[in-house]
Amino acid sequence: MESRVVVITGASSGIGAALARQLGAKGHHLTLGARREALLKEVAADSAPDAIPVVTDVTRRADVDHLRDVALDTFGHVDVWVNNAGRGASHVVMDLTEEDVQSIVDVVLKSVLYGAQAIVPHFQERGTGHLINVSSFMGRVPLASYRSIYSAAKSAVNILSSSLRMDLRAKYPGIHVSVVMPGIVDTEFHKVAQTPIPIRAGDRAGTTLVETADEVAAKIVALLDHPVAELYTAPQMADIAQRYYQDVGAFEERMGAHR
């Protein structure tokens, strides 16, 4: 794998931190963004000698633009941008408040828009680049109703990514837009969202979608050399999604039987 310049948001923990460490171990040049400065500096120190930690609040467009500018000023260009920042929320639809909705939309959806609008013009100037948006399988199949607004925002990320990919396809074939859809990932996300990690998911007893951050990160590392439009990080997820859309009503009825 050739050395690349990679920007990662949400890099202080979870998938972002695991990805930074794996890419750093392979000799890539990293610019890492997150809000928690101390943790971010630890990840940068553990990942690569020239990794640059940049305190970044992805809900602020100016912060995201600054993250890009630091990467360009330091390395001269960017090859890969990973929109990974996110947060969880656990509310069924009827319990959602305006604050719940706005906070998730800001972190999960608008941050992806800010990242894309910050870096894609640079990719267009170079005629090449790879934008990776970390979404969720719950944005494709609503496995947990208490993740209502989170799943809805991730679904919007999927559509936003597809629309951008279609916009770029004809004139900029060297620019790739990928959506990564993990299942349930064993990270502090669930502590923040105040929900347990489910021991089973899908519509068959015993089917698990639980992955580690390192497992998901390894799939993203491989994606750099083999870009695809959509990546389900757990093999069984594509099959579950297909069955969900074949008969939504029947799928949801089977899901209810396992609760």
Catalytic residue (choose from 114, 150, 232, 244): 150
Domain ranges in the chain?
A: 5-257
pTM of the predicted protein model: 0.90
Do residues 211 and 186 lie in contact, with contact meaning Cβ atoms separated by under 8 Å?
yes
How far apart (Å, rounded) are the C-alpha atoms in residues 37 and 80?
22
Residues 6+ apart with CB under 8 A from 11: 17, 19, 20, 32, 33, 34, 40, 43, 44, 53, 84
If one compares 60 and 208, the residue with the highest pLDDT of the two is 60
Percent of all residues in the chain with a pLDDT value above 70, rounded to a whole number: 89
C-alpha of 157 from chain center? 9
Treating both helix axes as pointing N-terminal to C-terminal, what angle do 213-225 and 14-25 enclose, rounded to 10 degrees?
Answer: 50
List pLDDT tens digits, range 143-194: 888 999 999 999 999 999 999 999 999 999 999 999 999 988 876 554 444 4
The one-letter amino acid at 110? K
Per DSSP, 93 falls in state G
How far apart (Å, rounded) are the C-alpha atoms in residues 136 and 8?
17
Work out the pLDDT band at 102, boundaries 50, 70, 90: very high
Architecture of domain 5-257: 3-Layer(aba) Sandwich (3.40)
List pLDDT tens digits, range 123-152: 999 999 999 999 999 999 988 889 999 999
Mean pLDDT of 56-64: 98
Active site residue 150: yes
Q: Which of 30, 82, 91 is nearest to 58 (CA)?
A: 82
Mean pLDDT of 68-97: 95
